[in-house]
Structure formats: C-alpha cells, structure tokens
Structure 1
C-alpha cells in the first residue's frame, strides 16, 4: 500500500543573485513496510530530498502526499503536528539528551508526540520497545555510559516509540563500525516490517543496501 508520494519536487536555493537548483523534478512512491534507500554522490540532492520529504524544509515546486494528504498545502504548524505524531527520525549521531536516562529519552518522545497514555501505559510501551531493541537492561543508564551502538539502538527506539507511520533515516550507521552497522540495520529492517513502517533512508554505505527493498540513485538533482 502506498503511504508516501513525491510528485515533481524541485528545490532552488538563492544566495544573493545566484540561484542553484538542487532538485530538478523528483518523483518517488513509498510503500508500507518497505525500506527505500537514497544513494548518490555528495551534492546529488539526496539529503535535501530527505529533509523536504520529512517536512523540515519546503520544496520550491511540487507536491508531497502522506496518506493521501497534500503536505505541500499545509502551514508550518500543521506540518509540525504531523511530524510529531506520524514521523520518526534517526540521524548519523544519536542526539540523545545527555542528562536523561535511556528510559526517560523514550518517555520524553511520547510526551512531545502528544501520545495520550497514562503513566503506567507509558512505562509499558517504553519497556516493550526497549526489550525489542535489547536495551531494557540499560534503561537507567545515561548516554555517557553507553557505547556508540547502544546509543544508536536507543535512538532507533526513541524514533519509533510513538508508533509513527514514516521513518526518516539520514546515514543511520555512519558513526558505527561494520558489526554495529549490521546490528542497527537488522534492527531497522525488523521493526520496519513488524511495525509496518515506511522507511526512507539516505546512505553512502553500499553494504547497507542489502537491507533495502528499493534502491533509488540520485545524480545532479534527478533520480537516475
């Protein structure tokens, strides 16, 4: 089932009198339960495409549909609410809050996402997902005491605790060694399937493409 659709998206950046067209007409369809990997050389436009799809910046032209809703017609507050409730994000670095425990990282995300749960229900959801990512035994630990792989596992759990429909991953294994990268990609793939999430991932690592259902190559602002 199609969850996300990108239609003829273009993006132009202006620097004084200079205009640079980074995206030149992108068309892409994303389906439920699948991982789509965006690949391409630096400057190809893949990270710009990811941030536009995620509602973190606006396209200059084109339309983006999420579950049939035209996000391009929404104002910033409407898009913010969809991001908070329906989108999850994983970045190169885990970006965990240094003074919060592993458990509290996920609880905070539930509150930001405005998921209406009682305290005990919140604890139950956090416990369940931390067990899924094999981090429940570290629920009281703080980021400074975690390894890089453990921090990224917590970041994955935090991105998914509010049960989003879309997951946006920007180089999620870039800061990890090969063994931990494989662990994280196995985790993302498993959760994408079991939770029926639609994942859009940017990566430079060709080994990570083994976990993708679809591979989309970008070059000079176009899909090749």
Structure 2
C-alpha cells in the first residue's frame, strides 16, 4: 500500500542574485514493506529529497503527502510530532548519547515519541527490539565499548522502537566495512519486511543496492530512472 507521495517537489536556494534549483519537480511514492534506494552523484539532490520527505526542511513547491496528510501545509509543531511518532532515522554515524547505555538510548527515544507504555512495558518492548537486532546481550553497554557495526544496530533499534511507519536512512553503511555494511543492510531489509514499514535510503555504495526493492537514480535534481 502507498503510504508516502512526493508530488512535483521543487527546492530552490537563493544566494544573493544566484538562484539554484536543487530539485526540479520530483515525483515519488513509497510503499509499505519496501526498501527504496536513492542513488546518484554528489549534488544530484538525493539527500535534499530525503530531508524534505522527512520534514527536516521544506519544499519550495509541491506537496509531501503522508498517509493522506499534506505535510507541506502543516505547522512546524505538527510536523515535529509526526517526525517523533511516525518516522525513524538512521544516519551515516550512529550519534549515540555517550553517557547512556544501549537500553537507555531506546528509552530516551520512547520518551521523545511520547510513548503511552508504562515503564515495565517499555522495558519489555526494548528487550524485544534489541533481540531483533541481536543486541540484547549488550543492553547495559555504553557506546564507547561497541564496535561500529554494533553502534549502527543500536541506531536501527532506536529508529524503530516507537514503531514508525517510515524509516529514513542517509548513508547508513558509509562508515562501515563491507561485511558490517551487508549485515546492517540485511537488517534494514528484514525489519522493513517484518514490520511492514516503508524505508527510503540514500546510498553511494552500489553493493548495497541488492538489498533494495526499488532503485531511484537521480541526476541534476531529477529522477532519471525508477527501477
């Protein structure tokens, strides 16, 4: 089922007298249970498209529709609530809080998402998610003691603990070696299917494209190929 529609989205930056159009009328849909990969050279507009879809910046023109709701017409506070409750984020680096344990990282995310679960239920949900990403044995560990791959697994667990509808991943394997990259992408694909979420990923790594259901090639602010 279609959960996300990007309709004729344009993004223009103006610097003095210079006008630069980063996105030039992009159309894209995201489906539940699918991993969609955005690829293209640096400056092609793929990261800009991801951040606009995620509500991290606004479009100059066009609409972003999530579950029938027009995000581009919403107030910043409304978009913030949707981001906190319905979206999950994984970036190139895990950005874990250094003084929090693995369990506490996920607890913090539940608080941000304003979870209605009681503390005991939150802990059960955290145990369940950590088991899914094979990090349950490290729940009391601090980030400094984790490997790069382990940190990304925790970041993924944090991104899905509040049961989002959409997962946004910006170069999630760029800081990892080949084996750990494949492990992380296998995990993202598996969770996308098992939790029936829509995943939108930006990547430069062609080896990771085998984990995607659809590959969107961008160039000069436009979609050239939608496979």
CA distance in 2, matches of 1:97, 1:26: 35
Determine if the alignment matches structure 1 residue 47 to structure 2 residue 47.
yes
Q: Deviations over 1:26-62 (max 9, x none)?
A: 0001100000000000000000000000000000000
Determine if the alignment matches structure 1 residue 99 to structure 2 residue 99.
yes
Q: Secondary structure at the match of 2:158?
A: helix
Give unmatched runs, 5+ long, in structure 2: none
CA distance in 2, matches of 1:16, 1:75: 28
Q: Secondary structure at the match of 2:196?
A: coil
In the other structure, the counterpart of 1:36 is 36
Q: CA deviation at 1:18?
A: 1.1
Q: CA deviation at 1:16?
A: 1.6
Q: CA deviation at 1:14?
A: 1.2
CA distance in 1, matches of 2:93, 2:162: 20
Q: Tell me the C-alpha RMSD between the 2 structures.
A: 0.4
Give unmatched runs, 5+ long, in structure 1: none
Query: Could you state the TM-score of these two structures normalised by the residue count of structure 2?
Result: 0.98
Q: What aligned pairs does 1:14-25 form with structure 2 within 5 A after superposition?
A: 14-25=14-25
Q: Secondary structure at the match of 2:173?
A: coil
In the other structure, the counterpart of 1:133 is 133
Q: CA deviation at 1:172?
A: 0.3
After TM superposition, which residue ranges in structure 1, 4 or more long, deviate above 2 angstroms? none
CA distance in 1, matches of 2:133, 2:32: 21
In the other structure, the counterpart of 1:179 is 179
In the other structure, the counterpart of 1:208 is 208
Q: CA deviation at 1:115?
A: 1.2
CA distance in 2, matches of 1:11, 1:124: 43
Determine if the alignment matches structure 1 residue 68 to structure 2 residue 71.
no
Determine if the alignment matches structure 1 residue 56 to structure 2 residue 56.
yes
In the other structure, the counterpart of 1:108 is 108
In the other structure, the counterpart of 1:79 is 79
Q: Deviations over 1:65-115 (max 9, x none)?
A: 001111110010000000000000000000000000000000000000011
Q: Secondary structure at the match of 2:19?
A: strand
Q: CA deviation at 1:160?
A: 0.3
CA distance in 1, matches of 2:116, 2:17: 48
In the other structure, the counterpart of 2:3 is 3
Q: Secondary structure at the match of 1:111?
A: helix
Q: What aligned pairs does 1:139-154 form with structure 2 within 5 A after superposition?
A: 139-154=139-154
CA distance in 1, matches of 2:211, 2:166: 17
Work out the number of aligned pairs and report it: 224
